[in-house]
Structure 1
Amino acid sequence: MGDAPWLAEDVDLVLPAASIGKLLLLGVAAEMFEAGTLSREAPLCRADGVFVRDSGVWHTLQQEVLPAVDVCRLIGAHSDNLATNVLLYHVGIAQVREYADRLGLAPLVLLDYARGHRDPADPDVAPTLSVASASALIRFMELLDAGRISAEVGEWLSLDTDLSMVADAFGLDPLAHNSIGGGDPGRFTLVNKTGTNAGIRADTGLAHAGGERTAYAVIAQWDQATDGDMLDEVITRMRDIGRQIRDRLQSAAS
């Protein structure tokens, strides 16, 4: 990592990225924990913010209140939309944008709360949750690797259970590949964040093996009305990129 990219295609193209923008929210939360402006133990109520079901598990649980750090873990592990909205309610979207500007992460932007439905005619609702370019996501991961983004963000992302895209190639257990709590990371260690919506798949992360590491970012968008159902093709391509990353890491580490 740090060398010229060995695989690049339209890296500065800005695309809708679904849940990928939650990276910024987690980055802000970690900074606030470290600064003491938000306590890790602060009780956050799921009645705050915009209520939404969809991805995640908090909306299925009986627990109405969770400590802020567990809300972050739900976002990292399950991209939990309700947890996202509750945390964003307490952090504020202006704070998220200031964080992104300060770290030079444009065009990675978290635009809105997670919503079950977006009315294109509503001027107060962003057309998508977030946008990003691959180059911006690589920058985020490089800053995380360099310690300029809190290592706590990496811990939360190591809980991610969605290894269905690029990360599929590493052969990790989706439920127990992190090192938190003594989990066995196997041959690879990985932190990643994915984004999924109709006609959108995105995956960005940091993969390590044998002292070698690389940052990756893949975003795919297609119009289902004009392009048809391209999901199988997109997932196949993303997994092929993952296999290339795996093979290069193994070769460099050997």
Structure 2
Amino acid sequence: MSIRWSILAVRLDDLAAAPWIEQSSDLVLKTASVGKLLVLGDVARRIDSGELAADLRVSKTGARFVRDSGLWHTLDQDELTLVDACRLVGAVSDNLATNVLLDLVGLDAVAAYGDSIGAKPMEMLDYVSGEARDRSVPGTPETLSRASAAALVHYLRQLYDGVVSARVEEWMSLSTDLSMVASAFLEDPLAHNTIDEVGHPFLINKTGTDDGIRADVGLVRDGDRAVGYAAVANWPTDDSPPGLSSVMARMGRIGAEIRDRMAEG
């Protein structure tokens, strides 16, 4: 079994702080749905600038239909407000909502947004598909998104510093997947976005899952301290059962180390 890891956990409130946890932080791996953070960031920027209205009605009719993660494909409602579509992406990594957002702004614009915040090698490469990618078709990306742990933590730092819109923090706070690194904080997956005294949730995160891929990127706050983390694991898909078990166990240990260090003060 060969598992490749890219891991980084570091304080965002102290630029001089050494990493709390680090392993191959510059290694670029497949990150599945984590790339959707770039889509959310670009949409949030456009809402903040007035280019798009938060209450704009967006429709799933005619969008690239995909099931798997998400809720919108099960709902009767054909239209949602733009912000509600973003909330679905943040809460349940909604694939259909992601494709609707990409129809609205375009992959090229998302790439340009990533460049504007220095996100590379973090990239969103394609629409979400419910089928295996046909690499025989020219131009078909190998994966939905990719990044290194260092690039993902850079995105969090941009969010912490206000370069990425605070709307993204709100949408990430709705995440219902606390199964990986975030599991160590023992929060209620369905009700953990309580706002603290300075207006921030304790924990926000975004995960990515696919065959041979697990990724969790998040920001944990405790008073004035803020720790950003990213843990990405890739392993051969023909070894998924033992690989997945090992990966999930280590994800929990990474979270526990962050939790314990925060508790030390």
Which of the five TM-score ranges fits, normalised by the shorter chain?
over 0.9
Residues 137 and 217 in structure 1, CA contact (< 8 A), matched pair in contact too: yes
Matched, 1:233 2:242: no
Of 219, 227, 233, 2:232 maps to 219
Residues 159 and 165 in structure 2, CA contact (< 8 A), matched pair in contact too: yes
4+ residue segments displaced more than 4 Å: none
1:29-48 counterparts in 2 under 5 A?
29-48=43-62
Matched, 1:192 2:205: yes
Residues 209 and 250 in structure 1, CA contact (< 8 A), matched pair in contact too: no
How many Å apart are 1:226 and its aligned residue? 5.7
Code of the aligned partner of 2:249: T
Structure 2's unaligned 5+ residue stretches are 1-10
Matched, 1:16 2:30: yes
SS at match of 1:4: coil
TM-score normalised by the chain length of structure 1:
0.93
Identical aligned residues as a percent: 49
Question: How far apart are the structure 1 equivalents of 2:228 and 2:216?
Answer: 11
Count of residue pairs the alignment pairs up: 247
Structure with greater contact order relative to length (CA < 8 Å, sep ≥ 6)? 2
Matched, 1:204 2:207: no
Of 134, 146, 154, 1:119 maps to 134
Instruction: Write the deviation string for residues 160-218 of structure 1: whole angstroms up to 9, x where unpaired.
Output: 000000000001000000037x9xx9xx8111000000000000010012432200000
The corresponding residue for 1:79 is: 93
- Backbone CA RMSD of aligned residues: 1.6
Question: How far apart are the structure 1 equivalents of 2:84 and 2:61?
Answer: 16
The corresponding residue for 1:152 is: 167
Of 187, 191, 198, 1:172 maps to 187
Question: How far apart are the structure 2 equivalents of 1:66 and 1:227?
Answer: 36
TM-score normalised by the chain length of structure 2:
0.90
How many Å apart are 1:49 and its aligned residue? 2.9
Instruction: Write the deviation string for residues 97-131 of structure 1: whole angstroms up to 9, x where unpaired.
Output: 00111111100000000001122222243221100
Structure 1's unaligned 5+ residue stretches are none
Of 15, 21, 25, 1:7 maps to 21
The corresponding residue for 2:7 is: none
Residues 173 and 205 in structure 2, CA contact (< 8 A), matched pair in contact too: yes
Of 149, 157, 161, 2:176 maps to 161
Code of the aligned partner of 1:105: A
How many Å apart are 1:228 and its aligned residue? 6.2
How many Å apart are 1:4 and its aligned residue? 2.0
Structure 1 residues 198, 36: CA separation in 2 closer, same or farther (over 3 Å shift)?
same
Matched, 1:137 2:138: no
Matched, 1:243 2:256: yes
Question: How far apart are the structure 2 equivalents of 1:175 and 1:214?
Answer: 22
The corresponding residue for 2:4 is: none
SS at match of 2:146: strand
Question: How far apart are the structure 2 equivalents of 1:169 and 1:227?
Answer: 23
1:65-76 counterparts in 2 under 5 A?
65-76=79-90
Question: How far apart are the structure 2 equivalents of 1:157 and 1:226?
Answer: 31
Question: How far apart are the structure 2 equivalents of 1:33 and 1:242?
Answer: 33
Structure 1 residues 53, 226: CA separation in 2 closer, same or farther (over 3 Å shift)?
closer
Does 205-214 or 126-135 show the bigger shift? 205-214
